[in-house]
């Protein structure tokens, strides 16, 4: 047990109130995971998870209608506090007590409960295995996570190969944390990541796709894909993308594009998922689509991504958004039409199409916006539609780079949610900073 404390002003009052309610009822309860890690790294936490000795049924009894039990692999509770929802999980048992499938080591059920010490060692990385009691102001470190945070190092709890075989999605999470938090990967972890990354395709498709979207929409996509490519994870997890950027020049062009996208996300928040899909894919499709001349750009673009989109279970509406965006781009960059259909200005794909052109200009793909850009942008403004998902909301620095107003964090809690104002907690208050 460490005397390291977290400033009370960094902690969400409602999350602390949930912990206090559990402790008042006689249960052990702590803040855990990403909120503790981020606070210790000097970053403002976004999502708050809570670990407790209370079972799911006891949580439902204690919180009543505020509590909803979810999950099949491991039951946990969503506890509502006003407009916020906190994930509350019962302490898990040891990893070796979990059921596995055949000889692969992949955990398919994890419904055994245990002690705080057993829960800590069942987690993925040491930096995510820290518990914090906001009332006793004590950090509980059973896995050496504090030392790794101080060393800015990502290390698995236990043998990296075994932990990745238990849950291969942890490889994607390691890459995401390395890129987003600018942390170093433990040599043992890095050595096995590329070899085992192909196992992610044995996991539920929706879960893998969700983690990949979080990786790309975090505001640190460029740094993250550089880590993924260096480790061989990009080739294993997204082979179609890896093939498209196999050449170093193509990869650097894609990274330049992602750098602009990151700047937008950090300044203004997460894009709608369908727009993220289009913006990530467009520079990989651009040359092939433009080669169609007067052909159907939208049909060609969707055909090019069909295999990967089907394998990853990308929603049809995302693919339709790509098709609509590509067809609008053909209209905008093509020769002006005497009679343009008025409904084009109301197309949900227009903001994304205009953003693509702005990004192409910023990346140097085009020397100037095409003549049709201003016309379509004016039409959208007349209809009250933003010319792109983002309008400039930050001041330019002397160096010409934008100073973001805030930085988006995402540790698995509903990407794209806006930060809500904190409500005054009615539970016990943590000790004041001394």
pLDDT, mean of residues 159-185 = 95
Task: Please tell me the least confidently modeled range out of 46-50, 238-242, 387-391, 407-411.
Answer: 407-411
Indicate the Cα dihedral angle 101, 104, 110, 115, nearest 10°.
140
Give the Cα separation of 71 and 63 in Å (integer): 18
* Burial bucket for residue 118 (CB in 10 Å: 0-12, 13-18, 19+): middle
Report pLDDT for 220.
Answer: 96
Bridge-partner residues for 31, per DSSP?
A: 50, 132
Considering 14, 38, 119, 124, which one is annotated as catalytic? 124
Tell me the residue ranges of DSSP E strands in 91-167. Answer: 99-100, 107-109, 130-133, 138-141, 153-154
Instruction: With a cut of 80, say whether residue 412 has pLDDT above it.
Output: no
Q: Both ends of the chain: CA-CA distance in Å?
A: 19
Phi/psi-derived region of residue 340, left when phi > 0, alpha when psi is between -120 and 50, beta in every other case: beta
Instruction: With a cut of 90, say whether residue 380 has pLDDT above it.
Output: no
Instruction: With a cut of 80, say whether residue 411 has pLDDT above it.
Output: no
pLDDT band at 401 (very low <50, low <70, confident <90, very high): very low
List the one residue out of 357, 362, 273, 350 whose CA is nearest residue 319. 273
Instruction: With a cut of 60, say whether residue 105 has pLDDT above it.
Output: no
Report pLDDT for 53.
Answer: 97
Q: What 3-state DSSP class applies to 39? A: helix
49 is catalytic: yes
| Cβ atoms 337, 331 nearer than 8 A | yes
Report pLDDT for 370.
Answer: 80
List the one residue out of 217, 229, 360, 216 whose CA is nearest residue 286. 360
- pLDDT tens digit string along 200-233? 999 999 999 999 999 999 999 999 999 999 999 9
Report pLDDT for 406.
Answer: 30
Considering 12, 14, 38, 49, which one is annotated as catalytic? 49
Task: Please tell me the least confidently modeled range out of 187-191, 371-375, 381-385.
Answer: 381-385
Instruction: With a cut of 60, say whether residue 355 has pLDDT above it.
Output: yes
- pLDDT tens digit string along 33-74? 999 999 999 888 988 999 999 999 999 999 999 999 998 767
Q: What 3-state DSSP class applies to 118? A: helix
pLDDT band at 94 (very low <50, low <70, confident <90, very high): confident
Give the Cα separation of 174 and 179 in Å (integer): 9
pLDDT, mean of residues 239-266 = 95
Q: For residue 230, what are its two tokens?
A: 């260096």
Considering 47, 186, 410, 411, which one is annotated as catalytic? 47
Q: What is the pTM of this model?
A: 0.80
Bridge-partner residues for 79, per DSSP?
A: 67, 86
- pLDDT tens digit string along 318-328? 999 999 999 99
Residues of the chain with pLDDT > 90, as a percent, come to: 63
Tell me what the pLDDT averaged over the chain comes to. Answer: 84
pLDDT, mean of residues 379-397 = 53
Report pLDDT for 299.
Answer: 95
Q: Which long-range contacts (CB under 8 A, 24 or more apart) does 65-73 make?
A: 73/107, 73/108, 73/109, 73/110, 73/111
> How many beta carbons lie within 10 A of that of residue 413, not counting itself?
16
| Domains defined for the chain, CATH in brackets | 1-151 (3.30.460.10), 153-266 (1.10.3090.10), 272-382 (no CATH)
pLDDT band at 295 (very low <50, low <70, confident <90, very high): confident
359-383 burial string, b = 16+ CB within 10 Å, else e?
bbbebeeeeebbebbeebbebbeee
């Amino acid at each position: 047990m460490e005397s390291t404390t977290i400033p009370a002003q960094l902690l969400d009052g409602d999350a602390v109130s949930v912990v206090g309610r559990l402790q008042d009822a006689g249960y052990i309860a702590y803040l855990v995971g990403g909120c503790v890690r981020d606070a210790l790294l000097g970053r403002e936490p976004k999502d708050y998870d809570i670990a407790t000795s209370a079972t799911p049924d006891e949580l439902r009894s204690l919180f009543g209608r505020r509590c909803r039990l979810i999950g099949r692999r491991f039951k946990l509770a969503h506890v509502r506090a006003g407009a916020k929802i906190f994930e509350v999980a019962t302490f898990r048992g040891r990893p070796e007590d979990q059921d596995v499938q055949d000889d692969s080591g992949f955990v398919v059920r994890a419904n055994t409960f245990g002690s705080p010490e057993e829960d800590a060692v069942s987690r993925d990385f040491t930096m995510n295995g820290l518990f914090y009691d906001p009332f006793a102001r004590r950090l509980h470190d059973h896995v050496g996570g504090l030392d790794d945070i101080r060393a800015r190092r990502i290390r698995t709890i236990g043998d990296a190969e075994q932990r990745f075989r238990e849950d291969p999605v942890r490889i994607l999470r390691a890459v995401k944390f390395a890129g987003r938090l600018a942390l170093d990967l433990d040599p043992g972890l890095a050595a096995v990541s590329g070899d085992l990354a192909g196992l992610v395709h044995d996991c539920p498709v929706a879960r893998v796709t969700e983690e990949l979207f979080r990786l790309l929409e975090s505001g640190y996509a460029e740094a993250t894909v550089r880590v993924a490519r260096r480790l061989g994870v990009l080739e294993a997890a997204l082979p179609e993308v890896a093939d498209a950027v196999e050449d170093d020049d193509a990869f650097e062009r894609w990274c330049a594009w992602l750098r602009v996208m990151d700047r937008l996300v950090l300044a203004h928040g997460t894009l709608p998922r369908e727009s993220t899909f289009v913006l990530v894919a467009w520079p990989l499709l651009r040359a092939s689509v433009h080669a169609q001349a007067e052909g159907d750009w939208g049909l060609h673009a969707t055909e090019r991504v069909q295999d990967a989109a089907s394998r990853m279970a990308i929603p049809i509406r995302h693919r339709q958004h790509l098709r609509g965006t590509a067809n609008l781009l053909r209209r905008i960059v093509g020769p002006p039409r005497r009679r343009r259909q008025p409904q084009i200005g109301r197309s949900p794909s227009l903001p994304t199409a205009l953003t693509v052109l702005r990004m192409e200009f910023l990346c140097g793909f085009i020397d100037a916006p095409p003549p049709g850009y201003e016309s379509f942008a004016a039409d959208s403004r007349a209809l009250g539609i933003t010319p792109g998902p983002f309008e400039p909301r930050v001041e330019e620095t002397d160096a010409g780079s934008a100073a973001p107003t805030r930085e988006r964090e995402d540790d698995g809690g509903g990407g794209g949610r806006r930060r809500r104002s904190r409500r005054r907690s009615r539970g016990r208050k943590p000790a004041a900073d001394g």
